[in-house]
């Protein structure tokens, strides 16, 4: 995956996902020819964090 530098002339979009195991997100920029990734993150929950309620995670 090739990341791009942000261009303030185009809108941004954030896509997220979560499970019992962890979370992930991608910051995308919406270009006429399609969405391009700007940044991404992911985190695997620790054993203790898996016991938290979804709002605490």
What residue segments make up the domains of the chain, in order of their start?
Answer: 1-44
Question: In the prediction, which pLDDT does 45 show?
Answer: 94
Question: In the prediction, which pLDDT does 42 show?
Answer: 96
Question: In the prediction, which pLDDT does 34 show?
Answer: 95
pTM for the whole thing? 0.79
Question: In the prediction, which pLDDT does 1 show?
Answer: 67
* Half-sphere exposure (Cβ direction) of 23: Cα atoms closer than 13 Å: 12
The tens place of each residue's pLDDT in the chain, 57 residues long, gives 678 899 999 999 999 999 989 999 999 999 999 999 999 999 999 999 998 887 777
């Amino acid at each position: 995956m090739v990341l791009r530098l942000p261009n303030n002339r185009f809108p941004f979009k954030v896509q997220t996902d979560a499970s019992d195991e962890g979370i992930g997100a991608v910051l995308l920029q919406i270009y006429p020819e399609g969405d391009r990734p700007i940044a991404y993150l992911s985190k695997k929950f620790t054993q203790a964090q898996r016991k938290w309620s979804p709002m605490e995670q």
